Amino acid sequence: MAAVRILHLHSSFDLGDAQLRTVRLMNHFGDQAEHTVLTAVSDGFGAADMIDRRVKVSFPKDAAPALAGMPSMGRYRRLASYMKKFHLVLSYNFGAMDGVMAHTLFTRGMKLPPLIHHEDGFEQDEIDRLKWNRNWFRTIALQRSDTLVVPSKTLEQIARSVWHQPLEKIARFPNGIDTKHFNRRPQRGSFPGFQKREGEIVVGTIAGLRPMKNLPRLLRAVAAAGPNIRLAIVGEGPDRDVIISEATRLGITDRLMMPGYLRDSARYIRLFDIFALSSDSEQYPVSLVEAMTSALPIVATDVGDVRTVVARENRPFIVARTDEDAFTSAINSLAKDAALRATLGTANRILACSQYDEDTMFARYRQLYGSAMKRADFARQS
């Protein structure tokens, strides 16, 4: 079959759940699709390094209209005209909403390709309350989109009650991973400088170093839980100095390991004894599913769908976001009980392998995208 041309609209193509899922789908589609990625920022393309070399993808800058800027009919018209070159437009989160608005305004007159919008969650400024102007803008912009895709029940409810999207237009597709790939032992040298002394417990997390992840909360919990607990934070981001400063204040720099971004978490994630998620906001984090598939017990804040994603046995260790004492206690309890860690880890892996495998996710997206383009050959292809 002839390759389909897909336009992706991202606020940034730096590492994040939406970007990594996009890359995995690109790699899965292979030579059946050609991709163009527009972003609202001129830098931040960390996820591009994970695209298979055989995949045809371009990142035009000066040759494409700006995705970011002051709203205007002229800019929206230019964006809409650019969309005419493609079979399908895929937009992601609020940073791409100008593209969605351009599509809604001009799709009938210009006979534009279908647009499918994806929402994965919110940034720091919408943790406690969604912004009314963004809700209003989404409601208007999404009027003529083909489908709204969300990964979590929480976002599905917001889409219905706040953004006023009809139920038949919403598709809830949980994020999936290659569960077989995560059934492996840690590889030597996969985590530079990793240290674990006799009797120590390693609490680990994989996260962008951003305010929303609230990694100082995790530092404080590890410091309070006891001197035999080490902390591994894998990731990069603007809060690196903030995290190191907090570790210095707490006197635990000798217990903190920060190797930066490490490719392929399956190679090292089983070095952790406990996986921790300290975020102020999440919906359906991929790193959580990776940890579950790796048979790790989870300590996390009760945000988004986290409580319902983990195994039932693990739910007592999902605590209120504002209760740091409970967060510390959960880490401490698991650190002291190897048998309990093993029980929770096994339950998490069984659940993840049965419900969160990427083959199911691929099939759902392929069917959705193929149906929108009226390409039955694309929808069926495995």
Give domain status of residue 141, yes or no.
Answer: yes
- Find out whether 280 and 119 touch, Cβ atoms under 8 Å: no
Nearest to 349 by CA among 281, 270, 265: 270
Residue 101 sits in the same domain as residue 162: yes
Give domain status of residue 296, yes or no.
Answer: yes
Contacts of 246 (CB under 8 A, 6+ apart): 216, 219, 220
Q: In what order do the strands lie in the sheet with 4-10?
A: 56-58, 33-39, 4-10, 88-92, 115-118, 147-150, 170-172
pLDDT of 17 reads 82
pLDDT of 46 reads 81
pLDDT of 277 reads 97
Q: Say how far apart CA 339 and CA 342 lie, in whole Å.
A: 5
Give domain status of residue 193, yes or no.
Answer: no
Residue 346 sits in the same domain as residue 367: no
Residue 301 sits in the same domain as residue 373: no
- Find out whether 313 and 344 touch, Cβ atoms under 8 Å: yes
Residue 124 sits in the same domain as residue 231: no
Residue 268 sits in the same domain as residue 315: yes
Kindly list the distances between the CA atom of residue 203 and the CA atoms of 22, 290, 316, 332, in Å, as whole numbers in the listed order: 29, 15, 18, 10
Give domain status of residue 20, yes or no.
Answer: yes
Contacts of 255 (CB under 8 A, 6+ apart): 222, 227, 229, 230, 231
> What is the CB neighbour count within 10 angstroms for residue 68?
15
Total domains in the chain come to: 2
Residue 365 sits in the same domain as residue 341: no
pLDDT of 302 reads 95
Q: Angle at which helices 358-373 and 17-29 pack, to 10 degrees?
A: 70
- Find out whether 15 and 43 touch, Cβ atoms under 8 Å: no
Give domain status of residue 108, yes or no.
Answer: yes
pLDDT of 281 reads 87
Task: Find where tokens 């100082």 sit.
Answer: 216
CATH number of residue 246's parent domain:
3.40.50.2000
Residue 33 sits in the same domain as residue 104: yes
Residue 368 sits in the same domain as residue 273: no
Q: Say how far apart CA 2 and CA 56 lie, in whole Å.
A: 13
pLDDT of the chain, 382 residues: tens digit per residue: 789 999 999 999 987 888 889 999 999 999 999 999 999 888 778 888 889 999 999 999 778 888 989 889 999 999 999 999 999 999 999 999 999 999 999 999 999 999 999 999 887 777 778 899 999 999 999 999 999 999 989 999 999 999 999 999 999 999 888 999 988 888 888 999 898 888 999 999 999 898 999 999 999 999 999 999 999 999 988 999 999 999 999 999 999 999 998 989 999 999 999 999 999 988 888 899 999 999 999 999 999 899 999 999 999 999 999 999 999 999 999 999 999 999 999 999 999 999 899 999 999 999 999 999 999 889 876 5
- Find out whether 103 and 83 touch, Cβ atoms under 8 Å: yes
Residue 292 sits in the same domain as residue 334: yes
SS (H, E, C) the chain: CCCEEEEEEECCCCCCHHHHHHHHHHHHHHHHEEEEEEECCCCCCHHHHHCCCCCEEECCCCCCCCCCCCCCHHHHHHHHHHHCCCCEEEEECHHHHHHHHHHHHHHHHHCCCCEEEECCCCCHHHCCCCCHHHHHHHHHHHHHCCEEEECCHHHHHHHHHCCCCCHHHEEECCCCECCCCCCCCCCCCCCCCCCCCCCCEEEEEECCCCHHHCHHHHHHHHHHHCCCEEEEEECCCCCHHHHHHHHHHHCCHHHEEEEECCCCHHHCHHHCCEEEECCCCCCCCHHHHHHHHCCCCEEEECCCCHHHHCCHHHHHHEECCCCHHHHHHHHHHHHCCHHHHHHHHHHHHHHHHHHCEHHHHHHHHHHHHHHHHCCHHHHHCC
What dihedral angle (degrees, nearest 10) is formed by the CA atoms of 214, 216, 220, 222?
A: 80
pLDDT of 285 reads 86
pLDDT of 98 reads 96
Residue 91 sits in the same domain as residue 42: yes
Residue 28 sits in the same domain as residue 124: yes
Give domain status of residue 182, yes or no.
Answer: no
Residue 218 sits in the same domain as residue 366: no
User: What is the extent of the structural domain holding 18?
Assistant: 4-175+357-380
Give domain status of residue 133, yes or no.
Answer: yes
pLDDT of 381 reads 67
Give domain status of residue 16, yes or no.
Answer: yes
Q: Which two tokens stand for residue 113?
A: 């390709």
